[in-house]
Amino acid sequence: MRACGKGRGVALCSALAADVLIGDPEHPWHPTAVAGRALASAYGPWRGRRPVAQLVGGTFALALVAGAAGAAAAVLERSLRRIPAGAVALGIALKPTFAVRELLAAGGSVADALEADNLDTARTRVGMIVSRPTERLRPDELAAAAIESLAENLGDSIVGPLLAFAVAGLPGAAIYRVVNTADSMYGYHDEREWLGKSAAHVDDLLNLVPSRVSMLALAAAALISGRADAASAMATARRDHGRLASPNAGWPIAAMAGALGRRLEKPGHYAVGEDRPTPGPEDVRRASAIVATAAALLMVALVGVVAC
């Protein structure tokens, strides 16, 4: 068990190194892209049917693809443990399940466009990382959307898969990524609602812990950075997290609002940190720095835990 833990610690380090050096390049055979195509194929036959049929079919499709991904990951992890430098190779296999560099780059690209007063570009770039319409968003609303995405995706794109790996190895990370991908494809209150209901609920369940860990990591990062308010991060998270419909997203988003001392709002839906100024491009950069620090703290903590 101890050797397994040390191997996972090495794998986490090599995965982070791969993320820093390579990032998350788009490719048709990227595991997340493959999972997306598999989900589309599995869900496809159930589209347009009666709600109960969509619910049953969506549940079956999710179980099928997630189960296949978990089984494949289990076989791969077992095989890699038998070769020299297998822990390093395991880290390379883990890398596609999370994305630090790409998340930070997305935030930076929005800040660049806002600083250049290029609203069309800013709206396009924000539209790539959020599901809300961006065509009519003002500069402060675009900045808020980018900051919210950074905070929420700390949990979805970093904390969640890495915690799953620490607990359940590569199969855990693979299953987490499939469920999260299914939720991002089908978990909406529109014609996909019944089809994606199981994915949405399972994703909520899997993110109960990562969302709270993200809140704590953001507060710790705010304390270390010296450019943000850790106490306000915790207080705002406790006060405002319930203003979002999601049982999870409100924790890191409200924590980020408190850390930055800014109001974050999705027009017509919610606002956190209501008594504060609206954000600008410099706040997007501050949020990126806080997320980067939070991710580093999480990685150090996980390596320490799994290696013990």
Owner of token pair 């905070």: 151
| Structure-block tokens of residue 175 | 């299953």
Owner of token pair 């606002």: 271
Quickly list DSSP for 20-68: HHH-----TTSHHHHHHHHHHHHHGGGTTS-HHHHHHHHHHHHHHHHHH
Contacts with 214 (C-beta within 8 Å, 6 or more apart), sequence order: 151, 154, 155, 159, 251, 252, 255, 294
Q: Which residues pair with 270 in a beta bridge?
A: 266
Residue 191 to residues 26, 80, 246, 308, Cα–Cα distance (Å):
28, 42, 19, 48
Chain centroid, CA 207 distance in Å: 10
DSSP at 132: S
29 CB burial (10 A radius; 0-12, 13-18, 19+) = exposed
| Structure-block tokens of residue 191 | 């014609």
Closest listed residue to residue 162, CA positions, set 14, 23, 21, 287? 14
Report the alpha-carbon distance of residue 16 to residue 23 in Å, rounded.
9
Is residue 83 within 8 Å of 89, Cβ to Cβ? Answer: yes
| Structure-block tokens of residue 138 | 């003002």
Is residue 144 within 8 Å of 284, Cβ to Cβ? Answer: no
Contacts with 17 (C-beta within 8 Å, 6 or more apart), sequence order: 91
Chain centroid, CA 271 distance in Å: 21
Helix (H) or strand (E) holding 76, with range, is: helix 51-80
| Structure-block tokens of residue 294 | 């939070």
Coil, strand or helix: which one is 164? helix
Report the alpha-carbon distance of residue 104 to residue 300 in Å, rounded.
19
Q: Which residues pair with 264 in a beta bridge?
A: 272
Report the alpha-carbon distance of residue 174 to residue 37 in Å, rounded.
15
Model pTM score: 0.94
Angle at 44 between CA 40 and CA 46, to 5 degrees: 135
Q: Which residues pair with 271 in a beta bridge?
A: 265
Spell out the per-residue pLDDT of the chain, length 308, in tens: 445 667 899 999 999 999 999 998 888 999 999 999 999 999 999 999 999 999 999 999 999 999 999 999 999 999 999 999 999 999 999 999 999 999 999 999 999 999 999 999 999 999 999 989 999 999 999 999 999 999 999 999 999 999 999 999 999 999 999 999 999 999 999 999 999 999 999 999 999 999 999 999 999 999 998 889 999 999 999 999 999 999 999 999 999 999 999 999 999 999 999 889 999 999 999 999 999 999 999 999 999 988 76
pLDDT of res. 2: 47
